[in-house]
Amino acid sequence: MSGDTIGLLADSFMKILIPGLKMTIPLTVLSFSIALFISVLVALIQFADVPVLRQICRFYIWFVRGTPLLVQLYVVFFGLPSVGIMIDAFPAAVLVLGLNEGAYCAETVRSSLEAVPSGQFEAGLCCGMNYAQIMWHVVLPQAFRTAVPPLFNSLISMVKNTSLAANITVVEMFMATQRIVGRTYRAMPLYLEVAFIYLIFSTALSWLQRWCEKRLNHYGGV
């Protein structure tokens, strides 16, 4: 590696990392928070087998998981303005990423709910608890212990998927890298550098996942 390349990477590192800290991480946190809310709501509706709402949830999961995330971003950011609905780039990315990941996480949470032994629900009834109390205090805590590893996998995947937001003009890490490439015409080292930064973020989340799993196991998790 030449000194010129090393100088380029050193100069561009913070120019790529700062958009990651200011845009990629907030985009991930906000989107995943929406995804978690949607996933729990959709999973609970399916678990309780609520008429009509269950069919709506199944359609949502079917449609979102069956269409590309990039297409969904384009429909919301470029398509909705044609019907008079204007959404700025960052909120559009948050909305689409949240809705997209929510469909996948909903299946994770649903399967985790179904993995809780039915005897736990019956034990709650014997203790005089109502349905909401049983779900909140008995079933959901056990389900989330099971769901933590796959949910973290979804979170790590979302960090990488935020790079697609560059296609709708969100200036996150990948967009920042593309702009530097456009000025310097040094694509290979710069794209490898941004890949390394994504790897750092993903590795940090992997460490956090292992720590959470150890804590859950310490307190009686699966």
pLDDT in tens, 184-215: 999 999 999 999 999 999 999 999 999 988 88
Q: Find the domain containing 63 and state its range.
A: 3-218
Over residues 50-93, the pLDDT tens digits come to: 999 999 999 999 999 999 999 999 999 999 999 999 999 999 99
Q: Residue 204 is part of a domain; what is its CATH number?
A: 1.10.3720.10
Determine the length of the chain: 222
Backbone angles phi, psi at 170, to 5 degrees: -75, 125
* Structure-model confidence comparison of residues 121 and 40, the more confident one: 40
Q: What is the mean pLDDT of residues 167-180?
A: 95
- For the chain, the domain total comes to 1
**3-state DSSP helix/strand/coil percent for the chain, to nearest 5?**
85, 0, 15
**Which residues are CB-contacts of 197 (< 8 A; sequence separation ≥ 6)?**
13, 16, 17, 20, 173
Is residue 37 within 8 Å of residue 151, measured between CB atoms? no
pTM score? 0.90
**Which residues are CB-contacts of 163 (< 8 A; sequence separation ≥ 6)?**
172, 173, 174, 198
Task: Kindly provide the b/e burial profile for residues 93-119, where b requires at least 16 CB atoms within 10 angstroms of the residue's own CB.
Answer: bbbbbbbbbbbbbbbbbbebbeebeee
**Which residues are CB-contacts of 104 (< 8 A; sequence separation ≥ 6)?**
39, 65, 154
